[in-house]
Structure 1
Protein backbone atom coordinates (compact mmCIF):
# COMPACT_ATOMS: atom_id res chain seq x y z
CA UNK A 1 0.00 0.00 0.00
CA UNK A 2 1.38 3.41 -0.95
CA UNK A 3 1.61 6.25 1.58
CA UNK A 4 -1.09 8.09 -0.39
CA UNK A 5 -3.54 5.21 0.05
CA UNK A 6 -2.56 4.26 3.60
CA UNK A 7 -5.22 5.18 6.20
CA UNK A 8 -4.35 7.93 8.64
CA UNK A 9 -5.63 5.58 11.37
CA UNK A 10 -5.86 1.80 11.06
CA UNK A 11 -7.30 -0.36 13.82
CA UNK A 12 -7.14 -4.13 13.50
CA UNK A 13 -9.00 -6.23 16.12
CA UNK A 14 -8.30 -3.53 18.73
CA UNK A 15 -9.54 -4.48 22.20
CA UNK A 16 -9.45 -2.97 25.66
CA UNK A 17 -9.92 -4.93 28.88
CA UNK A 18 -9.55 -3.26 32.29
CA UNK A 19 -9.44 -4.78 35.75
CA UNK A 20 -12.56 -4.04 37.80
CA UNK A 21 -13.52 -4.84 41.38
CA UNK A 22 -15.13 -8.11 40.30
CA UNK A 23 -12.56 -9.06 37.68
CA UNK A 24 -11.67 -8.14 34.08
CA UNK A 25 -14.10 -5.83 32.24
CA UNK A 26 -14.12 -5.93 28.44
CA UNK A 27 -14.53 -2.30 27.32
CA UNK A 28 -13.86 -2.74 23.58
CA UNK A 29 -13.81 -5.92 21.55
CA UNK A 30 -12.19 -6.60 18.16
CA UNK A 31 -12.57 -3.14 16.62
CA UNK A 32 -11.42 -2.99 13.00
CA UNK A 33 -11.64 0.44 11.39
CA UNK A 34 -9.85 2.67 8.88
CA UNK A 35 -9.95 6.48 8.84
CA UNK A 36 -8.56 8.29 5.81
CA UNK A 37 -6.81 11.62 5.34
CA UNK A 38 -9.11 14.62 5.52
CA UNK A 39 -12.11 12.54 6.59
CA UNK A 40 -14.47 13.51 9.39
CA UNK A 41 -15.65 10.48 11.34
CA UNK A 42 -18.40 10.65 13.94
CA UNK A 43 -18.73 8.01 16.67
CA UNK A 44 -22.15 7.57 18.25
CA UNK A 45 -23.79 5.20 20.72
CA UNK A 46 -25.35 5.10 24.17
CA UNK A 47 -23.42 6.12 27.27
CA UNK A 48 -21.07 3.30 28.23
CA UNK A 49 -20.92 1.88 24.71
CA UNK A 50 -17.17 2.49 24.46
CA UNK A 51 -17.03 5.62 22.28
CA UNK A 52 -14.71 7.67 24.46
CA UNK A 53 -12.54 4.64 25.22
CA UNK A 54 -12.11 4.04 21.49
CA UNK A 55 -11.12 7.68 20.98
CA UNK A 56 -8.58 7.34 23.79
CA UNK A 57 -7.09 4.26 22.10
CA UNK A 58 -6.78 6.19 18.83
CA UNK A 59 -4.86 8.91 20.65
CA UNK A 60 -2.65 6.56 22.63
CA UNK A 61 -4.18 7.85 25.85
CA UNK A 62 -5.18 4.25 26.64
CA UNK A 63 -3.09 1.26 25.65
CA UNK A 64 -4.92 -1.46 23.72
CA UNK A 65 -4.82 -4.86 25.41
CA UNK A 66 -5.32 -6.64 22.09
CA UNK A 67 -4.93 -5.99 18.38
CA UNK A 68 -3.02 -3.16 16.73
CA UNK A 69 -3.52 0.59 16.18
CA UNK A 70 -1.49 2.37 13.53
CA UNK A 71 -1.50 6.16 13.15
CA UNK A 72 0.30 7.86 10.26
CA UNK A 73 2.11 4.59 9.63
CA UNK A 74 3.36 4.30 13.24
CA UNK A 75 2.33 1.41 15.49
CA UNK A 76 0.92 3.03 18.64
CA UNK A 77 0.61 -0.32 20.39
CA UNK A 78 4.39 -0.76 20.24
CA UNK A 79 5.16 2.62 21.85
CA UNK A 80 5.81 3.35 25.51
CA UNK A 81 4.20 6.33 27.29
CA UNK A 82 7.03 8.73 26.47
CA UNK A 83 6.97 7.83 22.78
CA UNK A 84 3.18 8.20 22.70
CA UNK A 85 3.38 11.62 24.35
CA UNK A 86 5.89 12.79 21.74
CA UNK A 87 3.75 11.39 18.92
CA UNK A 88 0.66 13.21 20.19
CA UNK A 89 2.64 16.42 20.60
CA UNK A 90 3.82 16.28 17.00
CA UNK A 91 0.79 14.88 15.21
CA UNK A 92 -2.44 15.04 17.24
CA UNK A 93 -4.75 17.57 18.81
CA UNK A 94 -7.25 16.53 21.47
CA UNK A 95 -10.37 18.43 22.57
CA UNK A 96 -12.17 17.19 25.68
CA UNK A 97 -15.70 17.82 26.93
CA UNK A 98 -14.32 19.29 30.17
CA UNK A 99 -11.83 21.67 28.48
CA UNK A 100 -8.81 20.66 30.65
CA UNK A 101 -7.27 24.12 30.60
CA UNK A 102 -4.52 24.88 33.13
CA UNK A 103 -6.16 27.17 35.74
CA UNK A 104 -3.00 29.08 36.65
CA UNK A 105 -2.26 30.02 33.02
CA UNK A 106 -3.89 32.68 30.89
CA UNK A 107 -5.66 31.77 27.66
CA UNK A 108 -2.56 32.81 25.73
CA UNK A 109 -0.27 30.70 27.91
CA UNK A 110 -2.59 27.68 27.63
CA UNK A 111 -2.46 27.83 23.83
CA UNK A 112 1.28 28.59 23.70
CA UNK A 113 2.33 25.72 26.00
CA UNK A 114 2.12 22.84 23.47
CA UNK A 115 3.90 25.01 20.92
CA UNK A 116 6.72 25.72 23.35
CA UNK A 117 7.00 22.01 24.16
CA UNK A 118 7.32 21.32 20.43
CA UNK A 119 10.16 23.85 20.17
CA UNK A 120 8.25 26.45 18.15
CA UNK A 121 10.24 29.69 18.34
CA UNK A 122 7.30 32.04 17.85
CA UNK A 123 4.97 30.14 20.19
CA UNK A 124 3.25 33.18 21.69
CA UNK A 125 2.76 34.90 18.35
CA UNK A 126 1.15 31.77 16.92
CA UNK A 127 -0.93 31.31 20.06
CA UNK A 128 -2.24 34.85 19.73
CA UNK A 129 -3.12 34.21 16.08
CA UNK A 130 -5.05 31.08 17.06
CA UNK A 131 -6.98 32.98 19.73
CA UNK A 132 -7.78 35.62 17.12
CA UNK A 133 -9.05 32.84 14.83
CA UNK A 134 -11.56 31.66 17.46
CA UNK A 135 -12.64 35.20 18.28
CA UNK A 136 -10.85 35.47 21.62
CA UNK A 137 -7.87 37.62 20.81
CA UNK A 138 -9.18 40.25 23.23
CA UNK A 139 -9.36 37.67 26.05
CA UNK A 140 -5.80 36.34 25.75
CA UNK A 141 -4.77 37.70 29.16
CA UNK A 142 -7.72 36.17 31.02
CA UNK A 143 -7.54 33.02 33.14
CA UNK A 144 -9.95 30.10 32.62
CA UNK A 145 -12.01 31.04 35.69
CA UNK A 146 -12.63 34.43 34.07
CA UNK A 147 -14.02 32.85 30.89
CA UNK A 148 -17.43 31.36 30.15
CA UNK A 149 -17.79 27.69 29.26
CA UNK A 150 -18.08 28.52 25.57
CA UNK A 151 -14.98 30.70 25.72
CA UNK A 152 -13.02 27.99 27.53
CA UNK A 153 -13.91 25.46 24.86
CA UNK A 154 -12.80 27.90 22.16
CA UNK A 155 -9.47 28.27 23.95
CA UNK A 156 -9.23 24.47 24.05
CA UNK A 157 -9.88 24.36 20.29
CA UNK A 158 -7.18 26.95 19.67
CA UNK A 159 -4.75 24.97 21.84
CA UNK A 160 -5.50 21.70 20.02
CA UNK A 161 -5.10 23.20 16.56
CA UNK A 162 -2.19 25.58 17.16
CA UNK A 163 0.46 22.88 16.45
CA UNK A 164 -1.30 22.10 13.09
CA UNK A 165 -2.02 18.45 13.92
CA UNK A 166 -2.67 15.89 11.21
CA UNK A 167 -5.30 14.22 13.44
CA UNK A 168 -7.84 16.01 15.62
CA UNK A 169 -9.69 13.99 18.27
CA UNK A 170 -12.76 15.53 19.92
CA UNK A 171 -14.65 13.91 22.81
CA UNK A 172 -18.15 15.45 23.13
CA UNK A 173 -16.79 18.93 22.30
CA UNK A 174 -20.21 20.57 22.79
CA UNK A 175 -21.41 18.33 25.64
CA UNK A 176 -21.00 20.93 28.41
CA UNK A 177 -22.29 23.90 26.42
CA UNK A 178 -25.72 25.43 25.92
CA UNK A 179 -27.31 25.33 22.47
CA UNK A 180 -26.00 28.69 21.27
CA UNK A 181 -22.43 28.12 22.46
CA UNK A 182 -22.52 24.53 21.21
CA UNK A 183 -23.51 25.69 17.73
CA UNK A 184 -20.75 28.33 17.72
CA UNK A 185 -18.09 25.82 18.80
CA UNK A 186 -19.36 23.31 16.23
CA UNK A 187 -18.99 25.87 13.43
CA UNK A 188 -15.50 26.75 14.65
CA UNK A 189 -14.49 23.10 14.86
CA UNK A 190 -15.45 22.35 11.27
CA UNK A 191 -14.10 25.67 10.03
CA UNK A 192 -10.70 25.09 11.63
CA UNK A 193 -10.65 21.51 10.32
CA UNK A 194 -11.15 22.87 6.80
CA UNK A 195 -8.55 25.58 7.34
CA UNK A 196 -5.81 23.18 8.39
CA UNK A 197 -6.87 20.03 6.53
CA UNK A 198 -6.89 17.87 9.67
CA UNK A 199 -8.55 14.47 9.88
CA UNK A 200 -11.29 14.79 12.51
CA UNK A 201 -12.60 11.95 14.69
CA UNK A 202 -15.37 12.99 17.04
CA UNK A 203 -17.49 11.38 19.76
CA UNK A 204 -20.91 12.98 20.02
CA UNK A 205 -24.47 12.48 21.24
CA UNK A 206 -25.72 15.38 19.12
CA UNK A 207 -27.49 14.23 15.92
CA UNK A 208 -26.88 17.59 14.24
CA UNK A 209 -23.14 17.26 14.87
CA UNK A 210 -23.02 13.67 13.62
CA UNK A 211 -24.92 14.73 10.49
CA UNK A 212 -22.07 17.08 9.55
CA UNK A 213 -19.53 14.24 9.52
CA UNK A 214 -18.56 12.40 6.33
CA UNK A 215 -19.15 9.05 7.98
CA UNK A 216 -20.58 7.72 11.24
CA UNK A 217 -19.83 4.55 13.18
CA UNK A 218 -22.04 3.28 15.98
CA UNK A 219 -20.86 1.39 19.05
CA UNK A 220 -22.83 -0.83 21.42
CA UNK A 221 -21.40 -2.70 24.39
CA UNK A 222 -17.85 -2.33 23.10
CA UNK A 223 -18.62 -3.58 19.59
CA UNK A 224 -18.57 -1.66 16.32
CA UNK A 225 -22.06 -2.16 14.91
CA UNK A 226 -22.17 -0.31 11.64
CA UNK A 227 -20.44 2.17 9.39
CA UNK A 228 -22.46 4.48 7.20
CA UNK A 229 -22.84 7.92 5.70
CA UNK A 230 -23.72 10.60 8.22
CA UNK A 231 -27.05 11.56 6.66
CA UNK A 232 -28.23 7.94 6.95
CA UNK A 233 -27.13 7.69 10.58
CA UNK A 234 -28.98 10.87 11.48
CA UNK A 235 -32.31 9.64 10.09
Structure 2
Protein backbone atom coordinates (compact mmCIF):
# COMPACT_ATOMS: atom_id res chain seq x y z
CA UNK A 1 0.00 0.00 0.00
CA UNK A 2 1.62 3.24 -1.14
CA UNK A 3 -1.30 5.61 -1.71
CA UNK A 4 -1.83 7.93 1.23
CA UNK A 5 -5.47 8.61 1.99
CA UNK A 6 -4.81 10.64 5.15
CA UNK A 7 -1.72 12.51 6.21
CA UNK A 8 -1.89 14.47 9.44
CA UNK A 9 1.05 16.58 10.59
CA UNK A 10 1.23 17.98 14.12
CA UNK A 11 -2.56 18.43 14.27
CA UNK A 12 -4.01 20.39 17.18
CA UNK A 13 -7.65 20.99 18.05
CA UNK A 14 -8.73 23.34 20.81
CA UNK A 15 -12.06 24.72 21.97
CA UNK A 16 -12.60 27.88 23.97
CA UNK A 17 -15.20 27.77 26.73
CA UNK A 18 -16.16 29.64 29.89
CA UNK A 19 -13.20 28.11 31.72
CA UNK A 20 -10.77 29.11 28.98
CA UNK A 21 -9.13 27.10 26.21
CA UNK A 22 -9.39 23.32 26.25
CA UNK A 23 -6.73 21.49 24.22
CA UNK A 24 -8.36 18.32 22.87
CA UNK A 25 -5.77 17.18 20.29
CA UNK A 26 -2.10 17.98 20.81
CA UNK A 27 0.38 17.34 18.03
CA UNK A 28 -1.17 14.36 16.23
CA UNK A 29 0.80 13.03 13.24
CA UNK A 30 -0.71 10.06 11.43
CA UNK A 31 -0.70 8.41 8.01
CA UNK A 32 -3.44 6.11 6.69
CA UNK A 33 -2.95 4.25 3.42
CA UNK A 34 -5.48 3.26 0.78
CA UNK A 35 -7.53 0.20 1.73
CA UNK A 36 -6.39 0.20 5.35
CA UNK A 37 -8.73 -0.27 8.29
CA UNK A 38 -7.64 1.67 11.37
CA UNK A 39 -9.22 1.67 14.83
CA UNK A 40 -8.87 4.74 17.04
CA UNK A 41 -8.89 3.48 20.63
CA UNK A 42 -8.33 4.91 24.09
CA UNK A 43 -10.22 6.00 27.20
CA UNK A 44 -13.17 8.40 27.12
CA UNK A 45 -11.96 11.97 26.71
CA UNK A 46 -8.74 10.95 24.96
CA UNK A 47 -9.70 12.75 21.74
CA UNK A 48 -10.74 9.81 19.54
CA UNK A 49 -14.01 11.25 18.23
CA UNK A 50 -12.48 14.72 17.83
CA UNK A 51 -9.69 13.23 15.75
CA UNK A 52 -12.22 11.43 13.54
CA UNK A 53 -14.22 14.65 13.11
CA UNK A 54 -11.06 16.56 12.15
CA UNK A 55 -10.13 13.85 9.65
CA UNK A 56 -13.61 14.11 8.14
CA UNK A 57 -13.52 17.89 7.97
CA UNK A 58 -16.49 18.11 10.35
CA UNK A 59 -14.27 20.04 12.76
CA UNK A 60 -11.47 22.36 11.69
CA UNK A 61 -8.01 21.71 13.14
CA UNK A 62 -6.68 24.71 15.05
CA UNK A 63 -3.07 23.79 14.27
CA UNK A 64 -1.07 21.59 11.90
CA UNK A 65 -2.31 20.21 8.58
CA UNK A 66 -4.88 17.58 7.62
CA UNK A 67 -4.63 16.13 4.11
CA UNK A 68 -7.24 13.73 2.73
CA UNK A 69 -6.94 12.22 -0.75
CA UNK A 70 -4.18 14.72 -1.45
CA UNK A 71 -6.30 17.75 -0.56
CA UNK A 72 -5.46 20.08 2.33
CA UNK A 73 -8.61 20.24 4.47
CA UNK A 74 -7.00 22.81 6.76
CA UNK A 75 -7.39 25.57 4.17
CA UNK A 76 -11.04 24.86 3.24
CA UNK A 77 -14.10 26.66 4.59
CA UNK A 78 -17.27 24.78 5.59
CA UNK A 79 -18.80 24.90 2.11
CA UNK A 80 -15.62 23.63 0.47
CA UNK A 81 -15.36 20.84 3.05
CA UNK A 82 -18.96 19.79 2.42
CA UNK A 83 -18.31 19.67 -1.33
CA UNK A 84 -15.13 17.66 -0.73
CA UNK A 85 -16.92 15.09 1.45
CA UNK A 86 -19.72 14.64 -1.07
CA UNK A 87 -19.28 11.25 -2.70
CA UNK A 88 -15.80 10.79 -1.21
CA UNK A 89 -16.59 10.17 2.47
CA UNK A 90 -19.26 8.10 4.15
CA UNK A 91 -19.76 8.79 7.84
CA UNK A 92 -21.58 6.57 10.37
CA UNK A 93 -22.34 7.99 13.81
CA UNK A 94 -23.24 6.27 17.08
CA UNK A 95 -26.60 8.06 17.05
CA UNK A 96 -28.09 7.29 13.69
CA UNK A 97 -29.01 10.84 12.54
CA UNK A 98 -31.85 9.65 10.32
CA UNK A 99 -34.52 12.13 9.21
CA UNK A 100 -37.68 10.96 11.04
CA UNK A 101 -40.13 12.18 8.39
CA UNK A 102 -38.41 10.24 5.60
CA UNK A 103 -38.58 6.54 4.82
CA UNK A 104 -35.46 4.39 4.90
CA UNK A 105 -35.26 4.68 1.10
CA UNK A 106 -35.60 8.47 1.18
CA UNK A 107 -32.99 8.78 3.94
CA UNK A 108 -30.46 6.91 1.82
CA UNK A 109 -31.43 8.52 -1.49
CA UNK A 110 -31.46 12.16 -0.35
CA UNK A 111 -27.65 12.67 -0.18
CA UNK A 112 -27.34 11.01 -3.58
CA UNK A 113 -29.96 13.36 -5.03
CA UNK A 114 -28.18 16.37 -3.53
CA UNK A 115 -24.96 15.29 -5.22
CA UNK A 116 -26.77 15.09 -8.56
CA UNK A 117 -27.05 11.31 -8.99
CA UNK A 118 -29.82 10.60 -11.48
CA UNK A 119 -30.17 7.01 -10.25
CA UNK A 120 -30.34 8.01 -6.56
CA UNK A 121 -33.31 5.82 -5.65
CA UNK A 122 -32.00 2.78 -7.50
CA UNK A 123 -28.65 3.08 -5.72
CA UNK A 124 -30.38 3.67 -2.40
CA UNK A 125 -32.49 0.54 -2.82
CA UNK A 126 -29.40 -1.46 -3.78
CA UNK A 127 -27.55 -0.23 -0.67
CA UNK A 128 -30.49 -1.11 1.58
CA UNK A 129 -30.70 -4.57 0.04
CA UNK A 130 -26.96 -4.98 0.70
CA UNK A 131 -27.53 -4.41 4.44
CA UNK A 132 -30.52 -6.77 4.53
CA UNK A 133 -33.27 -4.14 4.55
CA UNK A 134 -34.75 -4.59 1.10
CA UNK A 135 -38.09 -5.40 2.77
CA UNK A 136 -38.05 -2.25 4.95
CA UNK A 137 -37.44 0.47 2.37
CA UNK A 138 -40.83 2.15 2.96
CA UNK A 139 -40.59 2.14 6.75
CA UNK A 140 -39.88 5.28 8.78
CA UNK A 141 -37.12 5.37 11.43
CA UNK A 142 -39.65 5.12 14.28
CA UNK A 143 -40.85 1.83 12.77
CA UNK A 144 -37.34 0.35 12.79
CA UNK A 145 -35.30 -1.16 15.61
CA UNK A 146 -32.01 0.39 16.68
CA UNK A 147 -30.09 -2.22 14.73
CA UNK A 148 -32.17 -1.56 11.63
CA UNK A 149 -31.71 2.19 11.94
CA UNK A 150 -27.94 1.73 12.12
CA UNK A 151 -28.15 -0.43 8.99
CA UNK A 152 -29.96 2.42 7.23
CA UNK A 153 -27.23 4.81 8.39
CA UNK A 154 -24.60 2.42 7.06
CA UNK A 155 -26.41 2.09 3.73
CA UNK A 156 -26.60 5.90 3.50
CA UNK A 157 -22.85 6.19 4.14
CA UNK A 158 -21.99 3.51 1.58
CA UNK A 159 -24.47 4.29 -1.20
CA UNK A 160 -22.21 6.97 -2.80
CA UNK A 161 -19.45 4.28 -2.97
CA UNK A 162 -17.01 6.50 -1.07
CA UNK A 163 -13.24 6.18 -0.99
CA UNK A 164 -13.33 6.76 2.78
CA UNK A 165 -15.59 5.32 5.48
CA UNK A 166 -15.51 6.97 8.91
CA UNK A 167 -17.40 5.43 11.82
CA UNK A 168 -17.76 6.86 15.34
CA UNK A 169 -18.67 4.10 17.82
CA UNK A 170 -20.94 2.43 15.20
CA UNK A 171 -21.93 -0.36 17.63
CA UNK A 172 -22.10 1.80 20.76
CA UNK A 173 -25.90 2.05 20.94
CA UNK A 174 -26.58 -1.58 20.01
CA UNK A 175 -26.84 -4.87 21.88
CA UNK A 176 -24.15 -7.49 21.27
CA UNK A 177 -26.10 -9.35 18.56
CA UNK A 178 -26.91 -6.23 16.54
CA UNK A 179 -23.45 -4.83 17.21
CA UNK A 180 -21.83 -7.95 15.81
CA UNK A 181 -24.06 -7.80 12.71
CA UNK A 182 -23.14 -4.15 12.11
CA UNK A 183 -19.43 -5.01 12.51
CA UNK A 184 -19.76 -7.68 9.83
CA UNK A 185 -21.62 -5.30 7.52
CA UNK A 186 -19.12 -2.50 8.05
CA UNK A 187 -16.22 -4.65 6.88
CA UNK A 188 -18.32 -6.18 4.11
CA UNK A 189 -19.16 -2.70 2.81
CA UNK A 190 -15.51 -1.69 3.12
CA UNK A 191 -14.51 -4.69 1.01
CA UNK A 192 -17.32 -4.17 -1.52
CA UNK A 193 -16.42 -0.55 -2.21
CA UNK A 194 -12.66 -0.82 -1.59
CA UNK A 195 -12.91 1.98 0.94
CA UNK A 196 -10.38 3.03 3.54
CA UNK A 197 -11.98 2.58 6.97
CA UNK A 198 -11.22 4.62 10.10
CA UNK A 199 -13.35 3.95 13.14
CA UNK A 200 -13.58 4.96 16.79
CA UNK A 201 -14.41 2.14 19.16
CA UNK A 202 -14.28 0.97 22.76
CA UNK A 203 -14.97 -2.60 21.57
CA UNK A 204 -11.75 -4.69 21.59
CA UNK A 205 -13.32 -7.23 19.19
CA UNK A 206 -14.01 -4.50 16.63
CA UNK A 207 -10.54 -3.01 17.02
CA UNK A 208 -8.95 -6.44 16.52
CA UNK A 209 -10.65 -6.78 13.15
CA UNK A 210 -8.85 -3.69 11.86
CA UNK A 211 -5.40 -3.80 10.26
CA UNK A 212 -4.03 -1.72 13.12
CA UNK A 213 -5.06 0.28 16.15
CA UNK A 214 -3.98 3.81 17.05
CA UNK A 215 -4.21 4.42 20.80
CA UNK A 216 -4.87 7.95 22.07
CA UNK A 217 -4.33 9.34 25.56
CA UNK A 218 -4.73 12.96 26.63
CA UNK A 219 -5.02 14.16 23.05
CA UNK A 220 -1.83 12.49 21.86
CA UNK A 221 -0.99 9.21 20.17
CA UNK A 222 0.13 6.96 23.03
TM-score by length of 2: 0.99
SS of match in other structure, 1:53: helix
CA shift digits 1:25-48 (9 cap, x unpaired): 000000000000000000000011
RMSD over aligned Cα, in angstroms? 0.8
In structure 2, distance between residues paired with 1:174 and 1:89: 24
Pair 1:213-2:206 in alignment: no
Paired residues in the alignment total 222
Displacement of 1:118:
1.1
Runs (4 or more) in structure 1 with deviation over 3 Å come to: none
In structure 2, distance between residues paired with 1:192 and 1:66: 33
Pair 1:8-2:21 in alignment: no
Instruction: Give the aligned partner of residue 105 of structure 2.
Output: 108
SS of match in other structure, 2:87: helix
Select which of 6, 17, 23 maps to 2:14: 17
In structure 2, distance between residues paired with 1:77 and 1:68: 6
Pair 1:122-2:122 in alignment: no
In structure 1, distance between residues paired with 2:2 and 2:183: 29
In structure 2, distance between residues paired with 1:5 and 1:148: 41
In structure 1, distance between residues paired with 2:181 and 2:89: 23
Instruction: Give the aligned partner of residue 201 of structure 1.
Output: 198
Displacement of 1:14:
0.5
SS of match in other structure, 1:68: strand
Q: Please give the residue correspondences for 1:52-201 in structure 2 after superposition, counting only pairs within 5 Å.
A: 52-201=49-198
Q: Which runs of 5+ in 1 are unaligned?
A: 226-235
Displacement of 1:20:
1.6
In structure 2, distance between residues paired with 1:110 and 1:137: 14
SS of match in other structure, 2:4: coil
SS of match in other structure, 1:155: helix
CA shift digits 1:115-167 (9 cap, x unpaired): 10111101001100110000001100000011000000000000000001000
Displacement of 1:5:
3.1
In structure 2, distance between residues paired with 1:41 and 1:20: 31
Q: Which runs of 5+ in 2 are unaligned?
A: none
